[in-house]
Amino acid sequence: MNLVESLRAHRLLAIIRGTDPTAALRTVLALAEEGIEAVEVSLTTKDATSVIAQARAELGPKALVGAGTVRTAADAARAVDAGASFLVTPALVDGLQSGDGPDVPVLMGALTPSEIEGALARGACAVKLFPGSLGGPGYLRALRDPFPEVPFVPVGGVDAAAARAYLALGATAVGVGSPLVGDAADGGDLGELRARVAVFRAATAAEEAP
């Protein structure tokens, strides 16, 4: 499984944070039914590792169900044990590519040029540009000059309009949490979730990245 190729093809990473593990699992499955290929379950979600394990069991071994808010090597280990197919960090985290376990791709959080270099040095397959809202699409444009080959996935405050702008400027994909998921992972209406999915799928497919 190549996470970057999948993100480049589908251009949308859904991010789930919730207080209700049953609702969080329903949300993962609903997103998959609507064609969202990559879903991140934040470890701040109640019983997150159980949600990941159940989702992988339901969706099969090729499903891209990852763990987010991975802040330590211990977080990574329990996520991988639960079956996470990729890891997402909010910042630079050491010890995730120790060679002692399975080769699980890491989308590592970074903001500044120095942090981006640090993420790459730590073995990140792509850089989660976070918080994306701090600099917006214009900041991604500036970063693309010195880092033309780096796969960037902006996360944080990405609505449908921002998603279009980031992708038009060459983002590999965008990561979207509450603007897409809303309150579904807390027990909210899945019909409304499906409607938001349609909006974001249209937005991410609207323009081809250069």
Give me the amino acid identity at 133. S
Where does the chain have alpha helices with state H?
Answer: 3-10, 21-33, 48-59, 73-81, 113-121, 132-144, 160-168, 178-181, 190-205
46 is known as an active-site residue: no
51 burial type by CB count under 10 A (0-12 exposed, 13-18 middle, 19+ buried): buried
Catalytic residue among 34, 37, 40, 149: 40
5 is known as an active-site residue: no
b/e per residue 98-110 (b: at least 16 CB within 10 A): eeeeeebbbbbbb
Residue 69 in contact with residue 90, Cβ under 8 Å? yes
What pLDDT shows up at residue 202? 95
What pLDDT shows up at residue 210? 39
Residues 111, 132: Cα–Cα separation, whole Å: 8
Q: Which CATH number fits domain 3-205: 3.40.50.450, 3.20.20.70, 3.40.47.10, 3.40.50.300?
A: 3.20.20.70
Residue-level pLDDT, tens digit, the chain, 210 residues: 589 999 999 999 999 999 999 999 999 999 999 999 999 999 999 999 999 999 999 999 899 999 999 999 999 999 999 999 999 999 999 998 755 556 799 999 999 999 999 999 999 999 999 999 999 999 999 999 999 999 999 999 999 999 999 999 999 999 999 999 999 999 999 999 999 999 999 999 844 433
What pLDDT shows up at residue 208? 41
Catalytic residue among 128, 149, 207, 208: 128
What pLDDT shows up at residue 102? 61
Beta-sheet pairing, 174-176 with 152-154 = unpaired
